[in-house]
Amino acid sequence: MDQGTGGTRGITPLQIMSDGEQPVAAPVGTPVPAPADEQRTDARVVIVGSGPAGLTAAIYAARANLEPIVLGGYEAGGQLMITSEVENFPGFPEGIQGPELMDRMRAQATRFGALVLDVDVERVDFSRRPFRLWAGGVEYTAQTVIVASGASAIWLELESETRLRGRGVSACATCDGFFFRDRKVVVVGGGDSALEEALFLTKYAREVVVVHRRDQFRGSRIMQERALSNPRIRVAWNSQVVEVLGDQQVSGVRLRDTVTGEERVEPTDGVFVAIGHRPNTGVFRDWLDTDPKGYLSVHEETATRIEGVFVAGDVRDHRYRQAITAAGDGCRAAIDAEHWLAEHGLAEPATASAW
């Protein structure tokens, strides 16, 4: 399945060092400690997040000889880490596995000198430069910071849902709808996001069942009218998903009537959870502006109200939420950070060919 970006789950390290000598392959899920001689804590650019936005920013910053530090999180890589087949990222005509794509991005960033650490940022101090960030019990300092911490899909918190993510369970119709051509799918939710996902899926699926726990939608009137008038959409009112059924692939959902408590099985080939996303802004809220939905706000291009702090990817984007748009944002933020450093005499001015 294809996938956008957003929340973080899973770790895909590139390599671990065997007794400090030859690199050996590390299995997915193995954290990668930085080599002892690379435990630097001061940088001109520190990037928070290791999804497509963060790693693209790292590639560009590293190629500009800024030697960025990436604080990627203990669960690094973004939502692509729980995505199987990615078919909408340019350059891979046969598709590519999500974790492999993130492996390649990380390898490209480290090749040019980025230091990528699998540690969570616990708090920050943006009151003056150098900016200070604490992660994994270590204090890091930076002249500029790029926040690319992403946004996490809000899930149903069911064990069966977690087990079948990437096996028929998705949070992105734009990413994965193509895989359900002429099949039946379920969309969970009742707001505009769910209705938009349902309408999009009618381009592919033969039937779309919208499961909503109330007896009326919360979405806008026009979206409700469009959904209710679409012959491919059916609504399961007063219903709650209590289990996603299937062994290796989704085969159905168990629904509970929120009025009577009765349960029934709804066969389906896919489940799209559309109950919202939560931007990963916790440690930044006291320092950076947010919009009404809680996403970080920019004041000019990728810049925030604090000079030297930039934002990229899904932590500010609640519309597109795609790997390719996040990567583009990371590129922009890195270039903006480099220009800012050059203007303040902290980096050599870059030419277009340097990127």
Which amino acid would we find at residue 299? H
For the record, the structure tokens of 301 come out as 């291009």
DSSP-assigned letter for residue 239: E
- Per DSSP, the three-state class of 277 is strand
Share of the chain above pLDDT 70, in %: 87
300 near 24, Cβ under 8 Å? no
Note the pLDDT tens digit of each residue in 237-252: 999 999 999 999 999 9
Confidence band, pLDDT 50/70/90 cuts, at residue 11: very low
Q: How far apart are CA 297 and CA 104, in angstroms?
A: 30
Q: Which of 315, 352, 336 is nearest to 152 (CA)?
A: 315
pLDDT at 288: 97
Longest dimension (CA), the chain: 69
For 45-59, what is each residue's pLDDT tens digit?
Answer: 999 999 999 999 999
186: Cα separation from own chain's centroid: 22
**Residues classed as catalytic:** 172, 175-176
Confidence of residue 82 (pLDDT cuts 50, 70, 90): low
DSSP string spanning 84-126?
SEE-SSTT-TT-EEHHHHHHHHHHHHHHTT-EEE---EEEEE-
| Percent of the chain topping pLDDT 90 | 75
DSSP 206: S
Contact present, 316 and 146 (Cβ < 8 Å): no
Give the residue among 68, 146, 144, 58 at the shortest CA–CA distance from 344. 144
Q: Which of 250, 322, 308 is nearest to 132 (CA)?
A: 308
Residues in the chain: 355
- pLDDT computed for residue 27 by the predictor: 40
Q: What is the enclosing helix (H) or strand (E) of 63?
A: helix 52-63
Beta bridge partners of 145: 46, 309
Instruction: Tell me the C-alpha distance between 18 and 294, whole Å.
Output: 43
List, in order of start, the domains of the chain with CATH numbers: 15-152+277-354 (3.50.50.60), 155-273 (3.50.50.60)
User: Among residues 280, 241, 259, which one has the least CA distance to residue 121?
Assistant: 280
CA distance 317 to 5: 10
Question: What is the per-residue pLDDT across 271-287, written as a single tens digit (0 to 9) for each?
Answer: 999 998 899 999 999 99
What integer pLDDT is reported at residue 175 of this predicted model? Answer: 85
Q: Is the pLDDT of residue 22 over 80?
A: no
280-313 residues labelled b (16+ CB within 10 A) or e (exposed): bbebbeebbeeeeeebbebeeebbbebebbbbbb
